[in-house]
Amino acid sequence: MKRFAARRISFFGGIHQSVQPPFLGGQQLLLVMGAIFGRKFVRDDKIDGQGKQFLLFAKKINMQKYEVDRIYEVFFGLENKATHLVDIKEMFHIYRRPYTLIASVIMQVFDRSKTGQVNLMEFVLILWCFLATDEDELARLCFDMFDIYK
């Protein structure tokens, strides 16, 4: 099982961290983690993606409490407070990245409800898949997604 913390980058190492996921055209995406993490994750079974299932997933990928809190801080800054979801297109817009066709297709894989929005668990799954894998694994993932001759 892969450890959540990325091998290629230190996602939680500093206040600002540059990440180069291939689905964003190889350009840098600036994730602002904040100097003080005021928001702490609190389990809420009434909110999809923030209940027991999320905690079990976080434990399965070996996330520490401080890692959950830091990601929740970022998610909380992006989410719609009424729905507790992050709009994928808005996320790309905030980080000034083009929402390309390939990005759309890849994000649909993680958007279980197919609404164009992701909950906290899907958000963490996106980060885990793209930050905890090496370039060869990412290339295989992309190839498998678009291989029409399977």
Domain limits, the chain: 16-145
**Is the pLDDT score of 130 beyond 90?**
no
| CA 131 vs CA 69, 72, 127, 149: distances in Å | 17, 16, 6, 28
Share of the chain above pLDDT 90, in %: 34
In single-letter form, the type of residue at position 58 comes to: A
Give Cβ neighbours of residue 71 (< 8 Å, ≥ 6 apart). Answer: 120, 123, 124, 127
pTM of the model: 0.68
* pLDDT computed for residue 128 by the predictor: 84
**Average pLDDT of the residues in 58-85:** 91
Compute the distance between CA of residue 10 and CA of residue 113 in angstroms, rounded to an integer. 31
Compute the distance between CA of residue 54 and CA of residue 121 in angstroms, rounded to an integer. 6
Confidence of residue 126 (pLDDT cuts 50, 70, 90): confident
**Is the pLDDT score of 32 beyond 60?**
no
* pLDDT computed for residue 141 by the predictor: 77
Among residues 118, 93, 95, the alpha carbon closest in space to that of 108 is found at 118
**Is the pLDDT score of 86 beyond 80?**
yes
* Sign of the dihedral through C-alpha 52, 54, 56, 59: negative
User: Within 10 Å of residue 21's Cβ, how many Cβ atoms?
Assistant: 19
Structure token digits, residue 123: 């958000």
Confidence of residue 31 (pLDDT cuts 50, 70, 90): very low
Which is higher by pLDDT, 123 or 97?
123
